[in-house]
Structure 1
Amino acid sequence: MQLVEQISPHVWILPAEHKSDRPILAAIVGSRRTLLMDAGNSPAHARLFQEQLQARGVRLPDLLVLTHWHWDHSFGMSEWNLPAVAHQQTVDALRKLVGLDWSALESTLQALTRQGMASAETLQHMQEEYGADRNIQVVVPDLIFAHSLHFDLGDVTCEIRHVGGDHTSDSCFLYVKEDKVLFLGDSLGPSVYGGPRTYTANHFLRLLESIYEYDADLIVESHGQPLALTAFREDLNEWEQLARLVEQFGRDRERIVAGLQGLTQVHDLTQAVDWYMAGLEKKPRNL
């Protein structure tokens, strides 16, 4: 079972679990209120975090922010019943999911896959998470921002900032200033809906530049482990080199692969080359 961890003076997280695609959930605890980052992929996921926070005497959240609209980050909202903050594009996407027949999960997800809002992996993970219980209630956030928004929680301040990217164009960072913790959501990931996985070099490099502009000591990706800044830089160094090779050589796959020789992550990076090649062919889309 996932166990809550305190990763900084004001930040508690429930680690990711990959079997049913549960992302990291975080509670940023100030002297006046607690901010929840992401709602979880189901009411059961949300309840687990609630129960573990209570067991450790941590103040429960008063307010929720979403890093993006994907089901694994938002479908636990009904269990929290909190004022919810999200980017305009996040709200627009979730509105499209309201009123769908989730009891017919397979056919609903097939239709969403055709619309570029789900995938075969979505069905697999949702079946694992929900089982026979398909009582899914999609909640639309009621507090909307366009670029960024700041929160004073009492002794600790946070910023939610829209950054976009390949994974989904509504992706946001959440920065906890006093603790120097930066949550990336899934912003660095490839696109996962609407066809084969894709990356674009300029999106990836722009996001890396944005990350390194923050005064952050700890970097947290939603489906990974929290990493100190130095470890994060080391982990992303070869991926950055690949993105720069793609910028330099474009569709010349042979020259890109040749440039990868000697890199320790060469197997994963070779797969990523395919994502970049697919990205060069893919027409832009919002969500």
Structure 2
Amino acid sequence: MLIMHAEHETDRPVLAAITGERRTLLMDAGNSPGHAELFRQELAKRGIKPPELLVLTHWHWDHSFGLSAWQAPVIAHEGTAEALAGLSGRSWSDEDLAELVLAGILSEESVQHIRLEYGESREITVMKPDIVFSSNIAIDLGGVTCELSHVGGDHSADSCFLYIREDNVLFLGDALGPSIYGGPRRYSSTGFLKLLGLAYGYNAQWYVESHGVPMSLAEFRADLAPWERLARIVDVFGHNRERVVLELKDYLQLEELPADLLQGVEYFMAGSK
């Protein structure tokens, strides 16, 4: 297995190549052909053959706009296929991007990243998947089984987990992230806890979020513990922000909450209204 880490300047997510005895599978396509080419070069350096299959964790541009650079059948959830079909044939001009923001399909932040990644020419080809599933699909690479399962969530309704059974590695995509399109970022406390329960249920050795770094199970649980507690507090006290902050401070034994958790409070407040 080869993982290329995320780059935040133009919102490039983690890419991964999983190799079995018969074939190699790529997780996510990259946010552009340029991003895809960098990973292709890394594969070549390590003697890993180009992927024969590609899976998408969800439709968002940073995970799918590199599809045109890969010559492999693409497997994705039916919601991913529908979203990408709706984006095909667009001009990606400044006016077009503004229209997509107005429609709640992209955010201003995503538009800024697209401009940085593609420049002024913005030659973007949106590809649709070749194989579509509705719930889950298992892919045998030869001694290595990849399980792609639809989990949904606030970030994107088509979000999927990819579990590498023999390696005991769970790729979470962005499923645990807040919604980022169509208004202020928001979390549903109940939905977040459900997804977290699903993730913990794998009892994986390694957990990989698309814009983070790989973590052991112990590291992942420690990293998510304050967020889990925050979600449980919101489940009880709803949009009572003052009480939520007070309860979280008490749990963490802090006088002031760190900036990321304060931001998280606002996400959950937006999701509880």
Q: Normalising by the residue count of structure 2, what TM-score does the alignment of the two structures yield?
A: 0.96
Contact 2:189 2:272 in 1 (8 A): no
Query: Is the 1:260–1:266 Cα contact (8 Å) retained in structure 2?
Result: no
Classify the secondary structure of the residue corresponding to 1:261. Answer: helix
Alignment of 1:99-248 (within 5 A): 99-102=89-92, 104=93, 106-248=94-236
Cα shift at 1:251: 1.5
Query: Any unmatched runs of 5+ in structure 1?
Result: 1-10, 282-287
Consecutive unaligned residues in structure 2, runs of 5 or more: none
> CA offsets per residue over residues 94-134 of structure 1, 9 Å max, x none?
011001112x1x21121111222101111110111111331
Amino acid in the other structure paired with 2:188: T
Other-structure match for 1:92: 82
Deviates more, 1:262-271 or 1:252-261: 262-271
Residue 13 of structure 1 aligns to which amino acid in structure 2? I
Deviations 1:233-281 (A, max 9, x none): 0000000000000000011111101012152664321211111111123
Letter in 2 for 1:224: G
Matches within 5 A, 1:3-152: 11-102=1-92, 104=93, 106-152=94-140
Equivalenced residue count is 269
1:201–1:244 contact (8 Å) kept in structure 2: yes
- Taking the aligned partners of 2:174 and 2:161, their CA distance within structure 1 comes to 9
Counterparts of 2:83 and 2:109 in 1: how far apart (Å)?
19
Aligned-partner residue type, residue 19 of structure 2: V
Provide the C-alpha distance between the structure 2 equivalents of 1:42 and 1:29, rounded to a whole number of angstroms: 23
- Paired residue for 2:262? 270
Worse-superposed segment, 266-275 or 197-206: 266-275
2:237 to 249, 252, 255: 249
Q: What secondary structure, in the 3-state scheme, does the structure 1 residue paired with 2:207 have?
A: strand
1:50, distance to aligned residue in structure 2 (A): 0.5
1:7 aligned partner? none
CA contact under 8 A between 2:203 and 2:217: conserved in structure 1? no
Cα offset, 1:81, TM superposition: 2.5
Query: RMSD between aligned alpha carbons?
Result: 1.0
* In structure 1, C-alpha distance between the alignment counterparts of 2:264 and 2:89, rounded to whole Å: 36
Stretches of 4+ moved more than 2 A in 1? 262-267
Distance 2:200 2:167 in 1: 16
**Among the aligned pairs, what percent are the same residue?**
55
